[in-house]
């Protein structure tokens, strides 16, 4: 089993979209969707374990990582969902499992409202059924993109958003390193388009009951993005949903507690696979 992913590009909706791939092509497909202003390498530390049983594809959403930016900006939820549909069709993926964090989780949840019960399963990480405008994100989008003078400067100044995390320094350095690209002068810049930080509000609440696929909602114990009450609501509204809270974790659950996160996800995938056999 290879631990280093294969880097690939695919053209969908007129854009060159990038993804990383682990595992055997004959295994069931598992698509990983990162959060806002993040990238596919956020999953590097857990993807090899998931690839023991699945063909794992970690996407760079449009405007993120190595994927193309759009001009003018087109970063609404519907745009991301259309890209996802295009990738599933182009790669001829049969009922893939989708796992998304934050923005990626919302994209996966929206996608779940459009598919039939013959689809695979969904893992939605620390996000609910409503996206609302964020004053903080609007402010950040309006500011000039940061510039980092050296790689050491990147590691010193780079922060997650929200900043609270229990991730190891080594994992944070890995995430930071893949978040930047150097220019001709040796300075470093964020790979993500600042325009991805804002979008129109989106509410999936009225559509949750139509999600008939198995779905696992995960929140971090100290998350301020998805409350315990909202997690309970999601579980009781979706017909085949399960909810798990992972201790000693915030919004960035799979960075904060990767072992507990993997245990939770692999158990769900095993049970889902056994039930559909």
Q: Which tokens in the block code for residue 12?
A: 């969908």
- Residue 119 is predicted with a pLDDT of 72
- Residue 135 is predicted with a pLDDT of 74
DSSP secondary structure string for all residues of 89-128: HHTT-SS-EEEEETHHHHHHHHHHTTS-TTS--EEEES--
Query: Is a pLDDT exceeding 60 seen at residue 117?
Result: no
Is there a contact between 209 and 238 (Cβ–Cβ < 8 Å)? Answer: yes
CA distances from 15 to 72, 87, 129, 158, 266 (A): 13, 11, 28, 28, 33
Query: Is a pLDDT exceeding 90 seen at residue 120?
Result: no
Is there a contact between 154 and 245 (Cβ–Cβ < 8 Å)? Answer: no
- Residue 276 is predicted with a pLDDT of 72
More confident residue, 62 or 147: 62
User: 99-103, 107-111, 198-202, 223-227: which range is least confident on average?
Assistant: 198-202
Query: Is a pLDDT exceeding 70 seen at residue 2?
Result: no
Query: Is a pLDDT exceeding 80 seen at residue 109?
Result: yes
What angle is formed at CA 156 by the lines to CA 152 and CA 158, rounded to 5 degrees?
110
Query: Is a pLDDT exceeding 80 seen at residue 134?
Result: no
Q: What is the mean pLDDT of the chain?
A: 94
Is there a contact between 9 and 40 (Cβ–Cβ < 8 Å)? Answer: no
Is the Cα torsion angle 58, 62, 68, 69 positive or negative in sign? negative
User: 138-152, 177-191, 263-277: which range is least confident on average?
Assistant: 138-152
Distance separating alpha carbons of residues 208 and 205, to the nearest angstrom: 6
The pLDDT tens digits for 8-40 are: 999 999 999 999 999 999 999 999 999 999 999
The pLDDT tens digits for 61-88 are: 999 999 999 999 999 999 999 999 999 9
User: 9-13, 104-108, 149-153, 260-264: which range is least confident on average?
Assistant: 149-153
- Residue 277 is predicted with a pLDDT of 61
- Residue 118 is predicted with a pLDDT of 61
Distance separating alpha carbons of residues 59 and 43, to the nearest angstrom: 10
DSSP secondary structure string for all residues of 139-166: HHHHSPPPEESSHHHHHHH---SS----
Q: What are φ and ψ of residue 196, in 5° steps?
A: -70, -10
The pLDDT tens digits for 158-212 are: 999 999 999 999 999 999 999 999 999 999 999 999 999 989 999 999 999 999 9
User: 12-26, 78-92, 119-133, 222-236: which range is least confident on average?
Assistant: 119-133
- Residue 164 is predicted with a pLDDT of 95
């Amino acid at each position: 089993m290879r631990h280093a992913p294969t880097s690939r590009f695919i053209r969908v909706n007129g854009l060159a979209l990038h993804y990383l791939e682990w595992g055997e092509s004959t295994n069931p497909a598992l698509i990983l969707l990162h959060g806002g202003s993040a990238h596919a390498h956020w999953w590097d530390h857990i993807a090899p374990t998931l690839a023991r049983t699945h063909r794992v594809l970690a996407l760079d959403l449009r405007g993120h990582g190595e994927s193309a930016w759009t001009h003018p900006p087109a970063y609404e939820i519907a745009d991301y969902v259309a890209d996802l549909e295009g990738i599933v069709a182009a790669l001829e993926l049969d009922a893939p499992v989708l796992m998304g964090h934050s923005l990626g989780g919302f994209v996966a949840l929206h996608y779940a409202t459009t598919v039939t019960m013959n689809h695979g399963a969904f893992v939605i990480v620390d996000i609910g059924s409503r996206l609302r405008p964020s004053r903080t994100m609007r402010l950040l989008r309006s500011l000039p993109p940061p510039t980092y003078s050296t790689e050491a400067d990147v590691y010193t100044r780079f922060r997650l958003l929200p900043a609270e995390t229990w991730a190891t320094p080594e994992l944070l350095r890995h995430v930071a390193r893949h978040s930047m690209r150097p220019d001709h002068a040796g300075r470093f810049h964020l790979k993500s388009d600042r325009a991805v930080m804002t979008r129109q509000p989106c509410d999936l609440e009225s559509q949750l009951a139509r999600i008939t696929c198995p779905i696992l909602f995960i929140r971090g114990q100290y998350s301020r993005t998805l409350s315990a009450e909202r997690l309970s609501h999601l579980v009781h509204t979706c017909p085949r949903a399960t909810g798990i809270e992972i201790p000693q974790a915030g919004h960035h659950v799979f960075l904060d507690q990767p072992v507990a996160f993997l245990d939770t996800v692999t158990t769900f995938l095993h049970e889902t696979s056994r039930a559909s056999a």
